[in-house]
Amino acid sequence: MCARSGQHWYADQQALCPESAHPHQRFEVHMHRDLFELPAGATVTAVSFDPDDPYGRVTVPDFGLYLDDRWAPPWLHEHVPWPDFAVPADPAALLTALQDLMRRARLGQVVEVGCFGGHGRTGTALACLARLTGQSPRAAVAWIRSTYCDQAVETHEQVDFVACFPGAG
């Protein structure tokens, strides 16, 4: 993956970014379709994008919040613009979207949140949801990494974002 160009490719493919000066990173790819219970008791499914079958589900969600524009599911959904390996440019839009996702989950709707790999943006969004339930920034990040995925909340900038997340107690 090239952080500068945003290109992704698999190990058995030729690099899609020809710029040798760009930092190219390797990541373990594993899929997420993880049912996740937040501290307030609401349940959210955290997902990563599976290019072979992105919308295959045992239970079709009532609503999805996606942090990557590659998602175009046939169910009701919303996108929040958020560059890979970064933080959203509009934290207030994320706050509103996460509050709506939490409301839907508390009403018993089947909801999911996802980005591409399911780690940085998805993990950060889950940590922000934990913050909305009253967890401290450090506890929220540690909890997401221990109960969801140890690769969640990938960058220092994302950790700092969780700490300063608007609307969190």
What angle is formed at CA 50 by the lines to CA 84 and CA 112, rounded to 5 degrees? 75
Whole-angstrom distance, CA of residue 52 vs CA of residue 142: 31
Residue 140 token pair? 């929220």
117: left (phi over 0), alpha (psi -120 to 50) or beta: alpha
Q: pLDDT tens, 125-150?
A: 999 999 999 999 999 999 999 999 89
For the whole model, what pTM was predicted? 0.83
Sketch out the chain's domains with CATH numbers: 33-163 (3.90.190.10)
Per-residue model confidence (pLDDT) at position 51: 87
pLDDT tens figures, 61-115: 999 999 999 999 999 999 999 998 899 999 999 999 999 999 999 999 999 999 9
Q: pLDDT at position 25, please?
A: 62
Mean pLDDT of 2-28: 66
> CB-based contacts of 83: which residues, under 8 Å, 6+ apart?
6, 89
pLDDT at 43: 94
d(CA 88, CA 66) in angstroms, rounded, equals 12
Beta-bridge partners for 53: none
Supply the pLDDT for residue 27: 55
Listed residue (147, 143, 98) closest to 121, CA to CA: 98
